[in-house]
Structures are given as structure tokens and as C-alpha cells.
Structure 1
Amino acid sequence: MEGRCKFEKERHIRFFTRNLQVLPSRYQVLDSNRLTIAFFALSGLDVLNALDRLTSPNKEEIIEWIYSLQVIPDRNGANSQKCGFRGSFTNGVSTDKTNQSHHDFDSSHIAMTYTGLACLLILGDDLSRVDKYGCLQGVKALQMKDGSFESTLDGSENDMRFIYCACCVCTILDDFSAIDRDLAVQYIMKSKSYDGAFGQGPGHESHGGSTYCAISSLLMLNRFGSALSLPDIRKLQRWCVNAQNAGFHGRPHKDDDTCYSFWIGASLKLIGSFDLFDWDENEQFILSTQDSVIGGFGKWPQSHPDALHSYTGLCGLTMMGLYDLNPITPALNITVKASNHMFSLHRKWAEQGTKVDNPLTTMNSLGGHMGSTLGAFVLGAGVVVLPWLYSYFFPSKIK
């Protein structure tokens, strides 16, 4: 690429701060997904080490708003299978704090439950007001007979994205009792294509986003080592590396797209192969998609910035250890700081007698920035020889 682009950190901070206050009219179609947009903004500020730009009253206001989106069981538990978090008040329903009744058409969405819990962790909340039982019942009700998950109980598509969301919810709540692991793993492995990567479901084309969701889910389910052999990993590694032109693209013969610097970059990070692509080309592609006037990153160069691509672009940069950004935990798609807060809560719950069932804890140290060839060898050998070592490794709609 000609010339070198400058990283506009301050403009990106202002971009995410604005996203928490006002959005362009084109975001109207995403009104039911406000919680996910808030996640991109909050986690983006966290990666930028700029959460302090929000005042304490601002943070408390956001926390209260998130809890107001929680769908909780009524006094009879009649709606327990619909519990979790909704994305907004689009359906005209807010949480009944008296816990007396529920609305027939009020239901959580599994992606909103994940991003809602993640936002609370990012803001330092102790999750004491999360109805853990309700969230887990809501997740459990969404698993289908083939092992996949729907997004909402009232009917929706079911694919790899929602298996990932279910695994994230159970990881954050430190309880995998809501997931039939064998069925979930069976669905994931049936979705593996001939080229070694993963599609959204069985028979589907390999895709960068679904490959990330599959790898992360296997790790969180503590089945990565038993599910994938060393030849499987080498084939997956080859597919991911070949997805780079300058940045990364999600499918063969598609244009590079900012978000895949995270989806595929994180996949390479998780299988210990992050050193095998051209970091400089990836960096310059990501920077070429930033808006030097209002901040944020777009899908392609000269395209309008949006919350998703702005956040995933930052994640692509921080995994390369650039610009003094906060490191992320790739599998959970939150900062190491936020995940450390999560683990502190898990320890607290354990001391209080809460069952600990989190396969990620012991692999926390592997969620940092610098992958290496040695790390790839060790991970590859471990998959074949010592699968029990994988007690866990760290890390919208995907296009």
C-alpha cells in the first residue's frame, strides 16, 4: 500500500462515545438490537483504554438501562424459557420489577443475553442482579434436537452464531448445565467443510465468522482437543492464512473486509498460529478503512464507519499488540481486563458455594497478544497427545 496511515485514536474514542448517545438514521433498522450496539461502543472504549471518558453517573445509567432489558421469571415461572435479555424496548415491554406477570410476546434473544452480560462485565458490575437461573433456562430452551441454538424461543434461524452466544453466556455465568455439550459438538463438527474450516451449519460454505464461532465454542465447551486432530488444525490453519490478501476476507474470492481481521485473526490466535500472516499488510488495510474525520472504521476503504466494523477493526489491531490498546480475550471477545473481572466473580461465587464449571480459567494466560511458532507447535502437539490440557483457552450478525 502507498504511504502509511495514522491511527486516529482520539477520533475513535469520540466515535464510540457518540454511539452511546445518538445514532445516524440508518441505524433505525437495528432498533431491536440496541444492546449489541452498546456492546460494540463500550468494549471499543475499553480496548481504547478510554472507559474513563464515561462519568460514574453515565456508567450507572447504562447499567440500569441494561438491567431494565432483563426478562425475568414471573411469580409462577411461566415464562422461564423466555428469560435472558431483550435488545431494546422495541416491543413496548419493560421489565416488571415486581415480578408479578409477563407479556406473552416478550422474549429474550440469545445474542442480547451475551452482549448484555458482557457489557455489565465491562462496566465493572458484579452481576448480582442477573437472574442466573432465568438466563440459563432461557439458553437451555433454545437448543434444538440437532445441537444448534435458535436466537429466540418464538422462532428464528439456528446456526453457529447462536451456539457461540450460548457458550459465552454459560462461560460468563460459570455454569454449562444449560447446554447438551455432546449435541452441540456434534453440530459443530458436522458443519466442518472439506477445506477444514466451518460453515454456519452442516453442508454450508466455510466462512470466517462461523469458523471463529466454531473454534471458540469448542474451546469453551472444553472439547477442542478431542474434536480436532493435528491434521485438522493444519488444514484449518491453511484455510485461515489463505484468507489474507492485504486484510482478510470471510470467503474465497470475496473482497477484504475489516471485520475479518478479527474473526479470522482471532481464529489464528486461538489455534496458536497468529505469526503466520503478514501483520503489516493487515494493519495498513485496517487503517485504510478508518474515517479520519468522524472516527470509526468502515467495512472497506472509503465506506461509512459503523459500530461493528469499528470494534472488530480495533480488535484486529490490538491482537497485533499495536497502539497501546488493551489486549482482548479472543474467545469471549472482551478485554483481558473484563475477563479478569469475570474470573474474580467466579472465585467469589465459588467461595459462596456456587458450582464452578468453567473450562476457560486455566488458559487465561494464553489469551494475550503475541502468538509464536513455538506456541503453535505446543498447541498442536497438545491437541493430539494431551487433550485434557485444554481446560480452556481464551480469545450481530456475522456477514
Structure 2
Amino acid sequence: VYWESIRHPLARRLDHVSMSMLQRAAHCKYVKRVSEDSDSYEFAVSEHLRMSGVYWGACALHLLNALDTLDRDFIIGFVASCWHECGGFSGNIGHDPHILYTLSAVQVLILFDAEHELPRLAERVMSYVHSLQKEDGSFTGDEWGEVDTRFSYCALCCASLLGRFDMINVDAAVHYVRSCENFDGGFGCEPGGESHAGQVFTCVGALALAGALHHCREETLSWWLCERQTPGGGLNGRPQKDADVCYSWWVLSALTLLRHTDWIDSSALRSFILQCQDEDAGGISDKPGDEPDVFHTFFGVAGLALLGTDDVPAVDAAHALPVSVMLKLRARQEARAAAAAAARVRGGELEEKLAEERRAGWQGTGGEASVQSIPTVSLQAFLDDDEEGKAAAAREWDSACRNVGFLKVVDHGVPAAVISRCWEEAALFFERPMDEKRAAPMSEAYPYGYQAMGVEKLKASLDEDDEAPGDAKELFNICLGVEGDAEVPTPRWPPESDAMRAAWTSYYHEMARLASRLYRMCALALALPEHWFEAHIDRHRNVVRAINYPEQARPPAPGQVRASTHTDYGALTILRLGGAYPGGLQVMGRNGAWVDVTTAAEDAFVINLGDLMARWTNDRWLSTPHRVVNPPESDAAKARRQSIAYFCNINMDAVVECIPTCRDESGAAKYEPMTAGEHLMRKHQQTVAGKLCYNHSDQPESQ
């Protein structure tokens, strides 16, 4: 008896309260009426949050089995009209995007089984959400920078609903939410903020979605939540405040996730909610006798759903959507995933067939090597911070670097949307007129920017120049460096390139994070402390290079190939491959045979070591020759190919000398110390020696 009195300090039966019925028909008419009456006061004052209003109303009607009373096409059209190029949604047409309304938009689309009707919804929305995450794991609501745990919940809920947790840093998000926990078990809007039931829901919901609910102090928090019940049966948001119907959702959903709904008096709460109904005009208010609104109508009905009363169907406490809607969503997602997997298998079979044809006699092939000769290493252990897994991956990495110098990495953690946006903007750049591409040229003083067809001849970097023309490709480079490094040259972009700049900047920084993981792998593989390389890359000069290999409408000049045989100059190269037609990357095996490299059936990056890393490791690791061959004549007229390389260049003033663990048995180093800047500039100058950095000869516009 004592324990029960402690556990239920406010539980009591309020038999004197009227136990009226839920007025379904009246509430349906109310929601429909206020959604259509554009002259009403309520409609006017809610203009800025119309998207959330649509969600509240539509979800309430779904729970009342009346969603079909709304004009589906009109609502989907409204949602689409609030979608911005950045991927986020605004609260109304013409307003700025915000993560709150982005989640509401996603929820509305899912309610109407329409998430597939907006092209690339998941990638674009999650690219926007990703852009709002800060290094500490928190999320801003929009570009103006306000941080709140509400936004953490919105981000994780979007990721869960769209099936794209891979596009945000979930571990960091969880860490930030946990930092907002207070001594009483509750959560605030930021670290040190007052515990509030609304914030408790967002934090408990976020942790539940992230699979991290075990971090909550379950009993302490549940005690704090049950103390929110007032003598009238309703729930408040914090001590000494009046009860409000909306907390029927905020408090009860958190208790549902914590599995402690029996810690409050459910009957008294139901009575409070029903007392807040307008039984004549419909709608539910915040407290008895007040004017109803759509916000409290939805949360009142949703609260009854959580209580399991009044024949209101079950609601998912974490996603704030009916359970039936969530089941249908997951079924659709599983069907699409199965179809995509089947397509990838078919694509892999096609690519392997093309590879077999190349090995059978296409230009430049030889030997018996196959695409399977390039090892694959997973980075999952570095994402999970799994020490045992990292050690195993590092052993695989060391073996690949000793024997091949090329490998593929999977489970890399780079969001698909960031990759696709950069890829698309690169393709659009190469379609520009030549004068626009030449507006940001490479020069002796600025070794980035645009370089035209035939200027670079990579084989010259191996001192193997001949009379053949330069490589049959054009390219664009950008170096952003580390934020705050004043010595990095100001990037030069082509005119009217805001979208390109945004996409490439996101890609650049994602690649920098991936490069950091790869350097940690390198350190462990070389028996060094995991973060040994960080002192050499804190002012890196990494470069993104997009490369276009145009269709060959006429045969190339004798001896000309897309990219002549070469080794890369720097420490590491992270390469994203593309191209539906043959004529691609080949790596020289140790027996001199050429190996075809493809990633058609994988979400993988190709990694190769450069000359600087080979020099640094005393040739323990290989910098392997590679090339890009011409397509067969039968496909040349349509075989455009594109790739994006990310060259990992260490600090320009870093001295490259033999890593201590890489000395041979005699303790000797093969190479004299040299700064990274000296090494890279010497290689670059060899490849463009005596040539202009762009070609003034008339080139076809397609080039």
C-alpha cells in the first residue's frame, strides 16, 4: 500500500466528473470547417504555421476515420508548393523553410500515402536536415541558428519516417539530447534548461527513434511525468501550472514509450479531455470552457488513442502517426527496397558482362585480372567506435595497401543526397558554354578552377612523356581548406553558381570527415596512435575535382586516352565513379595486367594511395599506376563518363619523412625529407609543363 501511494501520488477517481462520450461527428465537422474558412480569426492567426495545422487536422480526422473528407490533391499540392530547393518545407507558401514544418510536411504526405509523389523526397529532405546538424550533434531549426531539442526530435523523426538515418550523425544527436537531461530526470530545450513536458516528449521520442531509450533514467523520469497530473485529472507541463489538453499527448506519449502509463489515473485524464469538448460546435480546447482549436483537438483525440478508449485507433507514440499508417509506410518502404535490391543485382550482372567483354578484347585490356581483385573494406567499426572491429578493418586495410594500393570502402557514412547533389551540379557545369567554364580558369598562381580538354597529360608525372596529345578530359577543381585558414586561396566559381557552390561545399566537408576516418584507419594499420595523422591535416589543402570524359564523336588522336597512365600525387584519393558505358578506370596489377574497377552494384568509394603516402611509409604501401581507357568504337559516340575525385593533401608545410614504424630492418629511410607543398607542386608542374591552363582552340560545346 505504501509503494502504491508513492507511485501514484496524484491518482484518484473523480466520480463526480461527467463521463460524456467523444463527439466524433462534431469534431470532424469542426476540423473541416476551420480548414476551409479562410475568413476566420483562427485561420488568419495561424498563417505562419499552416503546414503544422494541416498535419494536426489531417491526423485528427484519420484517427476519427474521416480523412477522406479532405481534398487530397489540394493538400498534396499545398505541401509541394511549400517545398524549397534546399529540401526543407516552410509553414506556408512564400515563407522560409524550417525543420518543424519539414516534419509536418513529411507526416502529411505519409498520412495520404503520398511520400513517393514528390521526387527524391527522402534524399532532399534529409540533405536539408543534415545541413542543420551542428558538430555537437544538436540541430538548428533553420538557417538562423536557433537550437532546441524539438529540432533534434524533428530530425530523427524525419530520418526514421524516410528510412535515412545514414544521412545524419545519430550518435552525436543522441549525445546532445542526453546532455539536456536534468537532475529530476526531465529534459530541457538545451543543456541546463528547465524540465518541461513538451521537451521531455521530444527527447524521449528522439532517443526512442535512435534506439537509445535505455539512456533515460526510467523510474526517475516516469515519477516526474506522473506528477504532472493535477487534481482535476488533466496534465500540466511543469510544476505549479494549470492542466492543458495538449499535455495529454506530451506526457502520455513519453510514459507510453517508457511503459509506465499505469502511473497516472487514466480515467481522470479521459474525463478532463472530454470536458474540454465543445459538444455543439465541435473541437477541443486547452481547458474546459475555452475556445477550441485544431491543435488541442488533435492532441486531445491522440491522448484518447494512447489511453485506448472511445474506439480511437492506436497511435504510434514516437512518430505521432496512427499505427495503421506506420504499418502501411513500412510495407511500402520494404517493397521499394526489395525492388531496388533486385535492380542492383541486375545492374551488377550487366556491369560484370561489360567487364568480361572488355577483358575479351577492348582497347587497353590484358591479363586475367577481374574486378574482384580490388579488395573491399567496411568502415562501420569507425562509425560505431568498435575497437575490436577497427583493429580487424585496419589489418584488411594494411594488406590491401601493401599488395594493391587500391581498395573500395563501404559503410562509409556519407549521405547519399550529398553525393547525388554534387554529382548533378558537376554534370550541369560541364554542360555550360565554354566561356562560362573558362570564367574560373586554372593558372600558375591558382592551381584549381577549370582545365580544358587536352591540357593535362598525366603520364608526364611519371617522366614518360611522348608526342601523344593531352588526355581526353576536362575538369574543374576547388579547394576550400579548413575553415578559418586565411592562407587558402579564395575559391573561384563560375558565374551564377549558388546551387553548385552549396552542393560542392557540402560534399567537400563530408569528404573531409570521411578522410579523417581513413587517416585513423591508416594510423592503426601502421601501428600508430589512432589520431597520429591529425597534426598533419589540421590545415589540409584537400581538393574536389570533377572530371568529364565526353562522348567521342570522332576517334581520338593516335595514343590519346581519357587519362593516361599515372600515379596520384598526394596521400589518399577518394573517388566516386560513374558512367553507364564502358571505357573506365583500370589499375595495374603487380603482374603488369590491367584490372577493371567498377562500383556499379555498391554504395562504395574507390580509395587509392598517392606518391606522398608511399614516400611517407618508406614504400611499405603502394602508389599504384592507373588509367582511364577509351570506350570501344561501337559505343564511343554515346559513352560520356564522369567521376569526382577528392584528393587528400596534408598541410603544405608538413615535412614528409619516413614514419617511425615504417623503417626497414636496418632503420634506414629511402627518401630525404621534403615538405608536402614542394612535392605536390613539382608533380603538378610536370603534368602541365609548357602549356596554357586552358585551351583557346575551338572546342565543341559538348566538351
TM-score range, shorter chain: 0.7 to 0.9
What does residue range 11-90 of structure 1 map to in structure 2 within 5 Å? 11-23=26-38, 24-54=40-70, 58-72=71-85, 82-90=86-94
Give the residue type in structure 2 aligned to 1:88: N
Matched, 1:304 2:291: yes
* Structure 2 equivalent of residue 198 of structure 1: 187
Letter in 1 for 2:188: G
SS in 2 for 1:52: helix
Residue 123 of structure 2 aligns to which amino acid in structure 1? Y
Q: Specify every segment of 5 or more residues in structure 2 that has no aligned partner in the other structure, as ranges.
A: 1-15, 342-703
Q: Which moved more, 1:290-299 or 1:325-334?
A: 290-299
SS at match of 2:36: coil
Matched, 1:141 2:138: no
Offset, 1:182: 2.2
Q: Distance in 2 between matches of 1:270 and 1:163?
A: 17
Letter in 1 for 2:320: N
> What SS does the aligned partner of 2:136 have?
coil
Q: Secondary structure at the match of 1:108?
A: coil
SS at structure 2 position matched to 1:143: coil
Asked whether the equivalents of residues 19 and 41 of structure 1 are also in contact (C-alpha less than 8 Å), the reply is no
Distance 1:141 1:126, change over 3 A: closer
From 157, 175, 178, the equivalent of 1:186 is 175
| Residue of structure 2 in register with 1:218 after alignment | 207
- Contact 2:35 2:43 (C-alpha < 8 Å) held by counterparts: no
The residue correspondences of 1:321-340 to structure 2 (distance < 5 A) are 321-340=308-327
Listed as ranges, the matches of 1:352-363 within 5 Å are 352-353=339-340
What is the CA deviation profile of residues 4-37 of structure 1, one whole-angstrom value per residue up to 9, with x for unaligned ones?
Answer: 3332111101111123212532442331211110
Q: Any conservation in 2 of the 1:170–1:176 contact (CA below 8 Å)? A: yes
Q: Which one has the bigger strand percentage?
A: 2
Question: Match of 2:220?
Answer: 235
- Counterpart amino acid of 1:174? G
The match for 2:639 is: none
Q: Which region of structure 1 is more displaced relative to structure 2, 343-352 or 164-173?
A: 343-352
1:156 CA displacement: 4.4
CA–CA distance in structure 2, aligned partners of residues 3 and 351 of structure 1? 52
1:162 match: 151
Change (3 A) 1:346 1:336: same
Distance 1:322 1:287 in 2: 11
Q: Which amino acid aligns with 2:57?
A: A
Q: Does the 8 Å CA contact 2:148/2:190 hold for their aligned counterparts?
A: yes
Q: Hey, which bits of structure 1, 4+ residues long, moved more than 3 A?
A: none
State the Cα deviation string for residues 127-158 of structure 1 (Å, max 9, x = none): 242432221110011112332211112x0421
SS at match of 2:19: coil
Does 2:12 match 1:8? Answer: no
Displacement of 1:2? 3.5
Q: Measure the CA separation in 2 of the matches of 1:164 and 1:336.
A: 19
* Number of corresponding residues: 323
CA distance in 2, matches of 1:69, 1:128: 14
For the 8 Å contact 1:297–1:306, the answer to whether it is kept is yes
Hey, what does 1:77 align to over in structure 2? none
Deviation at 1:126, TM superposition (A): 4.5
Residues in 1 aligned to 2:136 and 2:116: alpha-carbon distance in whole angstroms? 32
Output the CA distance in 1 between the equivalents of 2:176 and 2:269. 32
- Provide the identity percentage: 28
Provide, for residues 363-397 of structure 1, a one-character-per-residue CA deviation record: whole Å limited to 9, x for no partner. xxxxxxxxxxxxxxxxxxxxxxxxxxxxxxxxxxx
- For structure 1, the 5+ residue unaligned runs are 73-81, 92-106, 355-399
CA distance in 2, matches of 1:281, 1:51: 29
TM-score w.r.t. length of structure 1: 0.77
Aligned counterparts of 1:147 and 1:297: Cα–Cα separation in 2: 37
Displacement of 1:122 after TM fit?
0.8
Once the 2 structures are TM-superposed, how far is the Cα of residue 173 of structure 1 from its aligned partner? 1.0
Give 1:268 deviation, angstroms. 0.5
Q: 1:163 and 1:130 mapped to 2: Cα distance? A: 25
CA distance in 2, matches of 1:168, 1:152: 16
Give the Cα–Cα distance (whole angstroms) in 2 for the partners of residues 263 and 307 of structure 1: 16
Counterpart in the other structure of 2:638? none
- Aligned with 1:145: secondary structure? coil
CA-based RMSD:
1.7
* Pair 1:48–1:207, CA change in 2 (3 A): same
- Give the letter aligned to residue 251 of structure 1: R
Query: What is the TM-score normalised by the length of structure 2?
Result: 0.45
Deviations 1:58-111 (A, max 9, x none): 212211221222223xxxxxxxxx3221221144xxxxxxxxxxxxxxx42111
The answer (yes or no) to whether the contact 1:118–1:334 under 8 Å persists in 2 is yes
Q: Which of 245, 250, 263 is 1:276 aligned to?
A: 263
**Cα distance between partner residues in 2 of 1:118 and 1:3:** 35
Seen in structure 2, the aligned counterparts of structure 1 residues 292 and 18 have a Cα distance that, compared at 3 Å, is same
- Alpha-carbon contact 2:18-2:271 (below 8 Å) kept: no
Asked whether the 8 Å contact 2:137–2:173 carries over to 1, the reply is yes
Counterpart-to-counterpart distance in 1, 2:75 and 2:336: 24
Which structure has the larger Rg?
2
Which residue identity lines up with residue 99 of structure 2 in the other structure? I
CA distance in 1, matches of 2:137, 2:115: 31
| Separation of aligned partners in 2, 1:144 and 1:22 | 41
Deviation at 1:334, TM superposition (A): 0.6
Task: State the alpha-carbon separation in 1 of the partners of residues 68 and 126 from structure 2.
Answer: 32
One-letter amino acid matched to 1:243: R
Name which of 142, 148, 157 aligns with 1:152. Answer: 142
Match of 2:197 in 1: 208
